Amino acid sequence: MLHGKKILLGVCGSIAAYKAAPLTRLLVKEGAEVQIIMTPSALPFIGPLTLATLSNRPVLHQYADTQSGEWHNHVALGLWADALLVAPATANTLAKFAGGLCDNLLTAVYLSARCPVYLAPAMDLDMYQHPSTRANLERLQGWGHHLIAPETGELASGLYGQGRLAEPETIVAYLQQQMGQSARLRGKKVLITAGPTYEGLDPVRFIGNHSTGRMGFALAEAAAAQGAEVVLVSGPSQQQVTHPGIRRIDVRSAEEMYQACRAHYRGQDCVIFAAAVADYRPVKQEAQKIKKKEDRLQLELEKTVDIAATLGREKQGQLLVGFALETDNELAHARQKLEKKGLDLMVLNSLQDAGAGFGHATNKVTILDRSGDEQAYPLKSKEAVAADILEHIIQKLHAS
């Protein structure tokens, strides 16, 4: 499924660099064209000759060949690739990527690349858990990069924990899923909601929530990568769209989101309600800023439109997917919403699970369907969660 794909493989200075050899072999076996770029610190860990032999291409590790004078054009390399895979990605290189630093050929190619970026970190337990590393990974994922999470096991330091580079077979399987099956939604139309809604109190204040929109945007990118024509209706969000197959519509309130969804509802093959829509809004939005006068301020609220339930009653063959963020009796409440709103799939996550919910680059979900089946997944990046959800959707669409 990777046949003919052009892959830049970045290899950084880690003991896990030895895995670049079997990884290269597997990629070439799948029919990919592999160009390896090593950082200077990677050279002591594995010889370029080994990787050059396996990839059938000279390994690059500097801007120019000092003997021949040949310049290795980082811009041309970035434009050549269908994917940039960095495995192993060290804490140092991740920090450079996140900060826009450019002091070697790999970082220069990264800044020039227009293709999807896949990061497979490898480092010791405490380095991976350090707040700076976590912040860098969250920032990179916020830019749409894919995280191939490290595995848990015995580390080179002798400690046990998360930080081991994913096995080459795991990395290749992830690439196959992301790149090799890019047409399974071709000809399909997908409508997705994302982010929070802001319900105005006055010109400067609103009722909202902590949703960043990252899950909805990840779903939009994943669906577009599978060939779908995507309409993304987003509440206020700092997330950015990168795929040209996504049409983004920005809204603010629950009513605006409902109207935008209703306008595009007909003719959709699938609708994914991933937004965190406010349940209530102020009955009256003041025209002027509310002044601080009394010790207490009483607000009168009214229900907003339930977008999923309302459109569910108007269902005309669309596959409908909802999200449920729960804090107690999670499965029972999610199953109840699934039936009540006429949905086909429900994606459940709980605020009781560390790393799940709002404000995280990761999520931990359980996917339920109307037949009573449910499938729980471990904590993953939201991009990986989006791939899992899309797999269920594709199976449902193909079965109908």
Q: Which pair of tokens denotes residue 397? A: 């669409």
> What pLDDT score was predicted for residue 65?
75
Contacts of residue 321, defined as CB under 8 A and 6 or more positions apart, other chains included, come to 270, 271, 272, 273, 343, 344, 345, 346, 347, 389, 393
pTM confidence score: 0.61
117-121 and 146-147 beta bridge pairing: parallel
323 annotated among ligand-binding-site residues: yes
> What pLDDT score was predicted for residue 198?
96
Match domain 6-180 to its CATH number in 3.30.420.40, 3.40.1440.60, 3.50.50.100, 3.40.50.1950: 3.40.50.1950
Give residue-wise pLDDT tens across range 144-203: 899 998 988 888 888 898 999 999 999 998 898 777 555 688 889 999 999 999 999 999
> What pLDDT score was predicted for residue 63?
80
Q: Please, are residues 233 and 261 in contact by the beta-carbon 8 Å criterion? A: yes
369 annotated among ligand-binding-site residues: no
279 annotated among ligand-binding-site residues: yes
For the chain, list residues with pLDDT below 50.
none
Give residue-wise pLDDT tens across range 40-85: 999 999 999 999 999 999 999 988 777 766 778 888 998 999 999 9
> What pLDDT score was predicted for residue 357?
65
> What residue ranges do the domains of the chain occupy?
6-180, 189-284+296-399
Catalytic residues: 209
Q: Under CATH, which number does the domain 189-284+296-399 receive?
A: 3.40.50.10300
337 annotated among ligand-binding-site residues: yes
> What pLDDT score was predicted for residue 263?
96
> What pLDDT score was predicted for residue 69?
66
289 annotated among ligand-binding-site residues: yes
In degrees, rounded to 5, the angle at the alpha carbon of residue 156 between the alpha carbons of residues 150 and 162 is 25
> What pLDDT score was predicted for residue 359?
66
State the DSSP H helix or E strand holding residue 112, giving kind and residue range, or none if neither.
helix 105-112
